[in-house]
Amino acid sequence: MDNLANEMGVARFIISLVVRKDLQCKSFILRNRQLLTEKNKIDRKVKAQALLNDMKDDCADFLKFFSHEKNFIQDRKRRQHHDATFFEKGLKVNADSYIKVLETVVKPWMDEVAAGREYVLQQDSAPAHAARKTQAWLFNNFSPA
């Protein structure tokens, strides 16, 4: 819509208004998303079922930490900001850099918050999270003894 507004020499909101009201259309942006294959879906289901089974016992004393997700049920404060973390310009997060952050920041913080209680870290399927090296580190450092 920006390009169309620039071509016609009018404000963007005019184009938006015409598209919405006069043409009764909605703007659609094509987004690239991760393709979930059948194997991905099966893997996710198996892991989710295992996680749920592990958490059925003593769930009241079991803490759950989530990476890269906002927990809307517990974080009810509006405009709540977390401490800023700064990274070098152009830094790519790979398994090694992610493990370093887990070792130096995440694990110590989780140990402090948990205060001796059992906990689990749930994360998404970002490449650094799903890397074999990261999974091995997580298994050695987060799995119950």
Reported as a single tens digit per residue, the pLDDT across 115-139 is: 888 887 878 878 888 899 999 998 8
Total structural domains within the chain: 2
In a domain, 132, yes or no: yes
* High-pLDDT (> 90) share of the chain, %: 10
User: Nearest Cα to 84, choosing from 61, 105, 107?
Assistant: 105
| Percent of all residues in the chain with a pLDDT value above 70, rounded to a whole number | 75
- The answer to whether residue 136 sits within a structural domain is yes
- Do the domain assignments include residue 76? no
Asked if the model's pLDDT at residue 142 lies above 60, the reply is yes
Measured between alpha carbons, how far is 116 from 127 in angstroms, rounded to an integer? 30
Q: What is the token pair recorded at 91?
A: 């830094």
Verdict on whether the full-model pTM lies above 0.75: no
The helix or strand, by DSSP H or E, that contains position 6, with its residue range, turns out to be helix 2-8
Is the pLDDT score of 114 beyond 70? yes
What DSSP character marks residue 120?
E
Q: Which domain holds residue 130?
A: 86-144
Q: Is residue 106 part of a domain?
A: yes
Residues facing 55 on adjacent strands: none
Q: Three-class SS of residue 131?
A: coil
CA distance 59 to 56: 6
Residue 73 covered by a domain: no
pLDDT at 76 over 90: no
